[in-house]
Chain A
Amino acid sequence: MAVLGAIKPILTVGWDGDAAWRLRDYVQRGGYRALKRIIEERIPAAQVIDEVKKSGLRGRGGAGFPTGLKWSFMPRDPGEKYIVCNTDEGEPGTFKDRDILRCNPHSVIEGMVIAGYAVGAARGYNYIHGEIWELYQRFEEALDEAREAGFVGRNILGSDFCFELNAHHGYGAYVCGEESGLLESIEGKKGQPRFKPPFPAAVGLYGKPTTINNTETFSAVPFVLNMGPEAYLEAGKPNNAGTKLFPVSGHVNRPGNYEVPLGTPFPVLLELAGGVRGGRKLKACIPGGSSAPVLPAEVIMDCTMDYDSIGKAGSMMGSGAVIVMDETTCMVRALERLSYFYHEESCGQCTPCREGTRWLYDIVHRIEHGAGRPEDLDLLGDLTKNIMGRTVCALGDAAAMPVQGFLRHFRDEFLYHIEKGKCLVAPEVQRAGSTFFSATV
């Protein structure tokens, strides 16, 4: 089962059974109704953008930028324009778009076609993470169904609106989740991010105006239009409209995706995910994907799952990916693994990121392995400040923020490592936390 629980769901309604992703099932659930209404009633493009604006829908990829506003940045005059969907989901902790493609690819297709109509684009691409190959194939199959039914391609539903849509696969590069790196990648290059401005709405794919949104954002568009912007807005809370998919991983009894209204208290989400594994004590939580600063248990337990509450607590909601860590977690080891990831995935374009991520990893690695020096924590702090804001894209910041978060809240644990040369949490306790051998031992 892909989605294990929900509160007042919108996006995941009807995600039951193996055929839920098929066109026939989607249409039975009311799919393509929004697109049909737009075409049949010849609703002006500006009105579609206006409705998305009014709904308060914010980008679900991480930045939370208002979707309707982003669409309105596209030039009004005719010309070559593109719609791009970002399904390059590789931010550790995030696995929601995978389930959207698994269970409801047509909602993404419908959202993209509507976006094409709204901004006057005639072509679109969905960039899909190479590691989820089976779902890349499924998306292509769904596209075939949509083309045959007249929802994609030339003269959609008999109108003069044409929109070609295709899938493009990644092949293993985290940085392509950054929108301009992704555009470079579609153009057949290394996925090295571009300087901004100009933003994609001015200079995007093949140098043409481009709207790029996350999978979950496009998937929400048909629902926003069907239920009406006011109802969608009210499904969440002010400034945090609608519901969201929260992928919950780590030390919980039932890792998986949960759809809840924005503003849902964290303890409620944790309870949906079955609570902390084995009834152990919550230690910390990374609330928005690996780049978001970690929050200790007592802070996250007081948060509600929305942009404002988590931001106020000193972290960010990002992609909504919730990584739960219980008392068996060594925070130094956790940060070591994350720092290795950013070092490994830095594209190498900017010196502060390329060299800085290497330094971050090397230092956390030596602390974890008993060779830490007393000055290392200050050195880490300095390094993060020299990376942040000094790179072309946000990967540098994404590598620095976890280091700052771990040091802010778990400095004592790092000091213990440096002084005693070993973990505060015994290795066998850490191992027990993963439950890997519990089935056989």
Chain B
Amino acid sequence: MLTTESVQKIDREIAKYPAGQQRSAVMAALAIAQEELGWLPGEAIEFVANYLSMPPMAAYEVATFYNMYDLAPVGKYKLTVCTNLPCMLSGGVDAAEYLQRKLGIGFNETTPDGRFTLQEGECMGACGDAPVLLVNNRRMCCRMQPDEIDKLLEELE
């Protein structure tokens, strides 16, 4: 289901916890699976659960509880914009609207070419750098004024 490289990464996560507590690695393992596959199909969740000797339903609960897991396919680049109050005061909502106009999509939609998915995010703990957006859960982009957003979209081909 997953590449040897991903499985090795999961093994490194398991090693962080006491013997018998491998289930603690489920969040990391699901994140690793999503990084490889682009999203989390049911088989991937089941694979992770079996690998960690936990019930598949328990792994599914985790995958649905935390909002950075994608249970349906997303575009090549998932952009998550924070629109919470502190960001809103500094252009977070404007940045999200600007992205919607530029990409021609609303929240939780993907551009027809499959490049971009846009999501509304909750507090990322970076309010002083608003507007803030996250690319594919990994790269945080700060102080995203219109020209910065234009540059980013060009870069993410």
Contact = CB atoms under 8 A, between A and B. Distances in A.
Pair from one complex:
yes
Interface of A: 89-95, 97-98, 123, 125, 129-134, 166-174, 185-191, 206, 247-251, 255-257, 290, 321, 323-325, 329, 334, 337-338, 341, 344-345, 347, 431, 433-437, 439-440
B45 interface: no
Interface of B: 16-18, 21, 23-28, 30-31, 52, 54, 58, 61-62, 65-69, 83-86, 88-95, 98, 121-131, 134, 137-140, 145-147
A337 B121 CA distance: 12
B123 A323 contact: no
Contact of B58 (A189, A290, A324, A437): A189
Contacts of A133: 137-140
Contact of A129 (B24, B26, B95, B125): B125
Given A94-B125, A191-B65, A436 B89 contact: no
Residue picked from A125, A166, A337, most chain B C-beta under 10 Å:
A337
Nearest to B91: A436
Contacts of B94: 431, 434, 436-437
Contacts of B84: 92, 290, 337-338, 341
Contacts of B93: 434
A345 to B, nearest CB: 6
Contacts of B123: 90-94, 174, 290, 341
Nearest to A402: B85
A125 B28 CA distance: 14
B27 A168 contact: yes
Contacts of A130: 31, 66, 68, 137
Contact of B134 (A95, A131, A170, A434): A131
Nearest to A438: B145
B126 A132 contact: yes
7 contacts: A95-B127, A130-B68, A173-B66, A189-B61, A290-B123, A329-B89, A337-B85
A324 B88 CA distance: 12
A325 B89 CA distance: 7
Contact of B128 (A125, A169, A191, A248): A248
A190 B65 contact: yes
Contacts of B86: 92-93, 249-250, 290, 321, 323
Given A95-B126, A131-B124, A171-B31, 7 more contacts: A93-B123, A94-B125, A132-B124, A133-B138, A171-B67, A249-B128, A437-B94
